[in-house]
Amino acid sequence: MTEIEELEAKVSELPNEKFALFRDWFYQFENEMWDKQIARDFRAGKLNHLIEKARREFAQGNATAL
C-alpha cells in the first residue's frame, strides 16, 4: 500500500466530526500553500506578463476599475 493509499484509508475511516476538523485544516493548509506559491511567483517575476496585459487592456478601455 502506498503512502497516499494509506492516507486515503485513514481519512475515509474518520468519524464525521474528525473528518470535518481535518477538512477545515486541509482547506486552510492548501490556501496557505497557494498564497506562498503566488508570492514566490510574483517575486520571481512570473506574473509580470499578466500584470502588463491587464494594464494594456485597462488602458485600451477593455477593463474597468474595481
pLDDT in tens, 25-65: 999 999 999 999 999 999 999 999 999 999 999 999 998 77
Return the exposure string of 24-60: e unless at least 16 CB atoms fall within 10 Å of the residue's CB, then b: eeeeeeeeeeeeeeeeeeeeeeeeeeeeeeeeeeeee
Q: What pLDDT sits at residue 29?
A: 98
**pLDDT of 42:** 97
* Nearest in space to 23 (alpha carbons), one of 39, 12, 34: 12
**Rg of the chain in Å (alpha carbons):** 20
Give the pLDDT of residue 53: 94
Output 1 or 49, whichever has higher pLDDT: 49
| Confidence (pLDDT) at 2 | 97
Residue 38 has, within 13 A of its CA and on its CB side, a CA count of: 7
| pLDDT of 1 above 90 | no
